[in-house]
Structure 1
Amino acid sequence: MQLLDWIVLTVTLLFIVAYGAIKTRGSKNVDEYILGSNQTPWWTVGLSVMATQASAITFLSTPGQAYHDGLGFVQFYFGLPLAMIVICVTFIPIYHKLKVYTAYEFLEQRFDVKTRSLAAALFLVQRGLGTGITIYAPAIILSSLLGWSLNLMNIMIGVLVVVYTVSGGTRAVNITQKQQAFVIMTGMLATFFIIMSYLPKELSFSNALHIAGANDKLDAVDFSFDPDKRYTIWSGLAGGFFLALSYFGTDQSQVQRYLSGKSIKESQMGLIMNGILKVPMQFFILLIGVMVFVFFQFHEAPLHFNPNNTKTVQNSPYKDQYHGLEKELKVVAREKEEISMLYVNQLYQDYDNKELHNRMVALNNQEKDLREQARELINKVDAKAETNDKDYVFLYFILNFLPQGLIGLLLAVIFSAAMSSSASGLNALASTTTIDIYKRNVTGEKSEKHYVNATRLFTIFWGVVAILFACVGTLFENLIQLVNIIGSIFYGTVLGIFLIAFYIKYIKGHAVFAAAILSQTLVVIVYFTQWISYLYLNVLGAVLTILFAMLFQSFLKQPPLNETTVNDNETLA
């Protein structure tokens, strides 16, 4: 990185932090601090919801996912628009009508305090872990870039986020996310056009897609019923729908974004905006990864993208074998560039030469084999090393091929996304802890200022927890998958509780509480025994919770409906 990149990166981040802290300091009451006084317009709600979900992991991992596996990951989001419709019709009107600060307050009114506390606790566990990962992701960048301690990077990033989140609460999060969204979209659009300009002049966008398609990178939809395939249209519609429904409908980090809307209609419009734009945005980010793959058909790529692993193996007894693989890769890269260019030239004659096509594919498969051999060497040096380097592909391209200034902007994109999602997570964790745990159990009358200060203190507390988790966290298979796995383990059970609360009115608190405990236990067992793909854990958790609750309720004496609660049909109407 050059001086210009550091200036762009530093100025962008400091402006966002300072702007958020200055514009929103001095919240006087809980309503202002947690809900932003319900003054957020619909487009800010929409941007805030999108920015909360689009963490640094989205921009760090997704292009690398597409580089290796193509566009198929986009199917994961196919259920999201459907979930937005359900939430707009059912969840938002009830939340607003009851004037709740958190989604879990509703559960006490519908069931009892123990069910509310259980749902809040499940949220605190999974969101606490998830927020740690969103801090860990950009820390990888700086530690790799500067050679600084990864733990030091985790602490620095975490502290930056805590500063403006503690200062302004929900308003600070919403306001800063507008600037962050602008930085993110500007950076990603600029990167796409830069990649296209770096491709050979003879290569049109259409022919670039031909090269990607020849290597199976454009298979965006898979109708297979093969249970071993992680991403299919069926897992996306089913698993993606339930994950989106639980995430946007019951996760306080998202619920708090649209609870701050000016009205029911404004909140609904914000979520509809997210439902319309999310799939195209995710497709575009994946397309950038596919174009990076095409770029490396004409430029030499490293044998392994993770610089830490490369350094480790080069300082080991296996360094000669590793250098031998690098030499083989250079030979493959030169031939691959030549064959790819020949393939492009014949495409202009509307002719697809099968021999060239097959040779190009064979060379890419040969490159995959060399990379696999490199991973085996790395494991021989360090059996605990994470050899999956998907999360480093886009980072490598940014640092080695983008022009000065744009490198700083792209790093600002990743940091902005990290700060955005981390701030939302900390804000929601603190709000839930204050409203659902602390306020529910504290004795005596307390002032509004007391609860605002408590929320600030809990923000700091959860910031420390997230930083500590980031410091002990390790790469899983791929960061974006790790976030979704954590969510899938816990979200299904919580969603089942809420679906019962909204739609199955005869089920009461004792039954749903016992059902949630049992279903969550079974989901954890299923995950660790790997009976099914993690995408289906949301469906499993929700269905088990509902079925067990219906079963348990059939053995319990049903008390008469309390006309003062939300069980009353008129209250829910």
Structure 2
Amino acid sequence: MSEMRWLDYGVILAYLIGITAFGYRFRESQKTLKDYFLGGRDAPWWAIAFSIVSAETSTLTVIGTPAISFNGNFGFLQVVFGYLLARIIISVLFLPQYFRGEMFTAYELMLRRFGPNIRKLTAGSFLGLRALAEGVRVFAISIVVSIVLGTGELLSALAIVSLTLFYTFEGGMTAVIWTDVIQMCLYVAGAILSVFVILQQIPGGWDHVAELGRAAHKFQVFDFAVSMTPAFFAKTYSFWAGVLGGCFLTTASHGTEQLMVQRLLSAKNEREARLALFSSWFVILFQFTLFLVIGVMLWVYYQDANLPPPEPRDRIYPKFIWDFLPHGVSGLVIAAILAAAMSNLSAALNALASTTVMDFIKPADKVQRSDSQYLSLAKKMTVLWCAILLGIALLARSIESVLEAGLGIASIIYGALLGVFLLGLLTKRTGERAAMIGMSCGLAISIYVKFYTSIAWTWYVLIGSSITFLVALAASYLVTEREKRLHV
């Protein structure tokens, strides 16, 4: 191994040690559940905004988005425009409810509106959803680390997960938010740096990239074609699938999933939560555009060099970085990709632990424990969920596209979650039993659509939430009539 390659390892090692030590320093402030799960509600809005971006992008974005434009075009941005519509809906419907009183999880809203059973069902759905989706993301981490170190998937994932667990276990949500800020800045800077380095590898620079990209329609964003054929609903990145799908997907993820809601609840007040939510969208748009541009540049590079791209395609960006970027620079960019992975994983571990403790263990306790006892239990749940995610990651090795797999998994359960939350916010007559019936039907239909139809994942949340809402609304009339007869 060359001496210069050791420079890359040194940069990566310095980052891993530095970010772990930085997160660990927040351990002294973790005295209560409010500190551990909500960061004491002391974080400024801009830090929460960066934390939202870190959770929304993750390693799946960093290594998966370039592969999308490498294979296709900029159509994925249609989904991002739907993200903005979702933020408007969340700020109007969801945020006012979340800031009525002190809440630790999104599913306490379901307890307030419906009852304990629907709270457990929605919280349990989140645990299953986040465990599966985050397991795929842990596998994405192993792709990067295995390229760098040449290790197997298990050892690669274990190395990063262990370090992330350490500072999440000790520093709680405060460590999550502030490490997110550093990690987001690092992986964006790494991506910008890689753009300039990749251009240096391409004769003709950006002008050549733009010429070939335009000729191959790589920069096409919008596809307004409409038809009622199966092919229309099978197309992932049309305008209608993208905007509607992105809107419903983000309304579900940012409005009903604890991973995102926990960040909003960490804001000092509703106004700062709203400010963090909207400002994060502009960063998201910039990031996705940046990584799509990188994908097109890599496509031009492989075209000019007449080289076969690596398989699976998610390896394209990290492999190019490690093989072709100057020593030291490649180590910095790989560290940036690991930063995205660690930021998302730390937030997921904290969200899974908070939901387990606040929505299942604490309500089931006949005798309430002290706050310090619950805090100790929360840390134990963090460790448990870490082990579960590693197990799921090992089962995800046959996945072709980690980005689309992660979004597809999430979209299956998001529909039912969003549908029942909308029921609680928009209707008054629907009760708990009807809501559970609707949610069960919405989840069943979403699973059927995923595994037995060719419909694209961008439609899953729209379909699932619509089925949940309509079935529950219809069931509310039947359930109400039956309950009246029982009381006569």
Instruction: Indicate the TM-score class for this superposition, using the shorter chain for normalisation.
Output: over 0.9
What letter is aligned with 2:223? D
The Cα of 1:511 is off from its aligned counterpart by 0.6
Partner in structure 2 of residue 212 of structure 1: 213
Partner in structure 2 of residue 443 of structure 1: 366
Partner in structure 2 of residue 145 of structure 1: 148
Partner in structure 1 of residue 91 of structure 2: 88
Distance 1:423 1:558, change over 3 A: farther
Partner in structure 1 of residue 256 of structure 2: 250
Match of 1:305 among 299, 306, 310: 310
Spell out, residue by residue over 1:360-416, the C-alpha distance to the aligned partner (whole angstroms, 9 max, x if none).
xxxxxxxxxxxxxxxxxxxxxxxxxxxxx2101112211221111111111111111
The answer on whether the counterparts of 1:78 and 1:233 sit within 8 Å (CA) in structure 2 is: no
Partner in structure 2 of residue 381 of structure 1: none
Partner in structure 2 of residue 331 of structure 1: none
Aligned residue pairs total: 475
Distance 1:547 1:21, change over 3 A: same
Q: What SS does the corresponding residue of 1:28 show, helix, strand or coil?
A: coil
Taking the aligned partners of 1:50 and 1:497, their CA distance within structure 2 comes to 26
The answer on whether the counterparts of 1:71 and 1:290 sit within 8 Å (CA) in structure 2 is: no
> 2:131 aligned with 1:128, yes or no?
yes
What letter is aligned with 1:395? P
> 2:167 aligned with 1:164, yes or no?
yes
Partner in structure 2 of residue 5 of structure 1: 8
Partner in structure 2 of residue 339 of structure 1: none
Spell out, residue by residue over 1:51-78, the C-alpha distance to the aligned partner (whole angstroms, 9 max, x if none).
0111111111111221111212222222
Match of 2:180 among 177, 182, 206: 177
The Cα of 1:145 is off from its aligned counterpart by 3.3
Give aligned-pair identity as a percent: 31
Spell out, residue by residue over 1:79-123, the C-alpha distance to the aligned partner (whole angstroms, 9 max, x if none).
101111111122112111131100001101100111000000100
Partner in structure 2 of residue 481 of structure 1: 404
List gaps (5 residues or longer) in structure 2.
227-231, 484-488
Q: What SS does the corresponding residue of 2:74 show, helix, strand or coil?
A: helix
Partner in structure 2 of residue 428 of structure 1: 351
**Which is higher, the Rg of structure 1 or of structure 2?**
1
> 2:420 aligned with 1:414, yes or no?
no
Partner in structure 1 of residue 486 of structure 2: none
Match of 1:281 among 262, 283, 287: 287
What letter is aligned with 2:256? T
The Cα of 1:525 is off from its aligned counterpart by 1.5
Q: Return 452-461 or 137-146, whichever deviates more.
A: 137-146
The answer on whether the counterparts of 2:165 and 2:383 sit within 8 Å (CA) in structure 1 is: yes
The answer on whether the counterparts of 1:187 and 1:409 sit within 8 Å (CA) in structure 2 is: yes
The answer on whether the counterparts of 2:302 and 2:309 sit within 8 Å (CA) in structure 1 is: no
Distance 1:262 1:143, change over 3 A: same
The Cα of 1:149 is off from its aligned counterpart by 2.1
Partner in structure 2 of residue 458 of structure 1: 381
Partner in structure 1 of residue 65 of structure 2: 62
Match of 1:18 among 18, 21, 27: 21
The Cα of 1:207 is off from its aligned counterpart by 4.2
Taking the aligned partners of 2:234 and 2:431, their CA distance within structure 1 comes to 38
What letter is aligned with 1:431? S
The answer on whether the counterparts of 2:114 and 2:431 sit within 8 Å (CA) in structure 1 is: yes
The answer on whether the counterparts of 2:419 and 2:468 sit within 8 Å (CA) in structure 1 is: yes
Q: What SS does the corresponding residue of 1:227 show, helix, strand or coil?
A: helix
The answer on whether the counterparts of 1:131 and 1:426 sit within 8 Å (CA) in structure 2 is: no
Taking the aligned partners of 1:552 and 1:264, their CA distance within structure 2 comes to 34
The Cα of 1:155 is off from its aligned counterpart by 1.6
Spell out, residue by residue over 1:7-27, the C-alpha distance to the aligned partner (whole angstroms, 9 max, x if none).
111111211111011133451
Distance 1:138 1:20, change over 3 A: same
Distance 1:558 1:267, change over 3 A: farther
Taking the aligned partners of 1:279 and 1:232, their CA distance within structure 2 comes to 17
Taking the aligned partners of 1:558 and 1:440, their CA distance within structure 2 comes to 31
- How does 1:181-200 map onto structure 2 within 5 Å? 181-200=184-203
What letter is aligned with 2:164? V
Match of 1:541 among 454, 464, 469: 464
Distance 1:26 1:304, change over 3 A: same
Q: What SS does the corresponding residue of 1:141 show, helix, strand or coil?
A: helix
Taking the aligned partners of 1:465 and 1:290, their CA distance within structure 2 comes to 36
- How does 1:207-356 map onto structure 2 within 5 Å? 207-225=208-226, 226-301=232-307, 303-306=308-311
The answer on whether the counterparts of 2:139 and 2:157 sit within 8 Å (CA) in structure 1 is: yes
The Cα of 1:204 is off from its aligned counterpart by 5.2
The runs of at least 4 consecutive aligned structure 1 residues that moved more than 6 Å come to none
Taking the aligned partners of 2:101 and 2:422, their CA distance within structure 1 comes to 17
Q: What SS does the corresponding residue of 1:24 show, helix, strand or coil?
A: helix
Partner in structure 2 of residue 365 of structure 1: none
Taking the aligned partners of 2:202 and 2:60, their CA distance within structure 1 comes to 26
Q: Return 108-117 or 63-72, whichever deviates more.
A: 63-72
The Cα of 1:275 is off from its aligned counterpart by 2.0
Q: What SS does the corresponding residue of 2:479 show, helix, strand or coil?
A: coil
Partner in structure 2 of residue 356 of structure 1: none
CA RMSD of aligned residues (A): 1.6
Q: What SS does the corresponding residue of 2:129 show, helix, strand or coil?
A: helix
What letter is aligned with 2:445? L
Spell out, residue by residue over 1:325-364, the C-alpha distance to the aligned partner (whole angstroms, 9 max, x if none).
xxxxxxxxxxxxxxxxxxxxxxxxxxxxxxxxxxxxxxxx
Q: What SS does the corresponding residue of 1:297 show, helix, strand or coil?
A: helix
List gaps (5 residues or longer) in structure 1.
307-388, 561-573
The answer on whether the counterparts of 1:17 and 1:163 sit within 8 Å (CA) in structure 2 is: yes
The answer on whether the counterparts of 1:9 and 1:408 sit within 8 Å (CA) in structure 2 is: yes
Partner in structure 2 of residue 319 of structure 1: none
What letter is aligned with 1:305? P
Taking the aligned partners of 1:447 and 1:509, their CA distance within structure 2 comes to 31
